């Protein structure tokens, strides 16, 4: 298997970001580091594309798909789940 750019990969990174939110990682980072936002770090590698272009593409992917307003509650919260 070769490394591919982030949008070409088989992982659903949005679900990974949601899972990290669900387990409380952003709050832990804010508390531990005393910052106001929790960073998302991009590591992009590709066996096929230029590394600078791959990195820029990874940053754009995170900006466009993984930075979103987080809901204050959910339907399940209201149903007692």
Q: Does residue 49 fall inside a structural domain?
A: yes
Domain count of the fold of the chain: 1
Q: Tell which wins on pLDDT, 75 or 33.
A: 33
Q: Does residue 81 fall inside a structural domain?
A: no
Mean of all residue pLDDT scores within the chain: 87
Percent of the chain with pLDDT over 90: 46
Q: Does residue 1 fall inside a structural domain?
A: no
Q: Tell which wins on pLDDT, 37 or 52.
A: 52
- DSSP type of residue 65: I
Q: What is the pLDDT of residues 11-48, one digit of tens each?
A: 899 999 999 999 999 899 999 999 888 888 888 888 88
Q: Does residue 34 fall inside a structural domain?
A: yes
Tokens of 77: 């919260």
Tell me which residue of 40, 72, 76 sits closest to 58, measured CA to CA.
Answer: 40
Domain that holds residue 32: 11-68
> Residue 81 — very low, low, confident or very high, per pLDDT cuts 50/70/90?
low
């Amino acid at each position: 298997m070769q490394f591919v750019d982030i949008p070409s990969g088989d992982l659903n990174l949005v679900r990974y970001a949601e899972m990290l939110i669900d387990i409380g990682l952003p709050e832990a980072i804010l508390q531990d580091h005393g910052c106001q936002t929790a960073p998302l770090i991009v590591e992009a590698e590709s066996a096929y594309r230029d590394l600078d272009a791959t990195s820029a593409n990874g940053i754009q992917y995170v900006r466009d798909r993984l930075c979103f307003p987080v809901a204050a509650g959910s339907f399940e919260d209201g149903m007692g789940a």
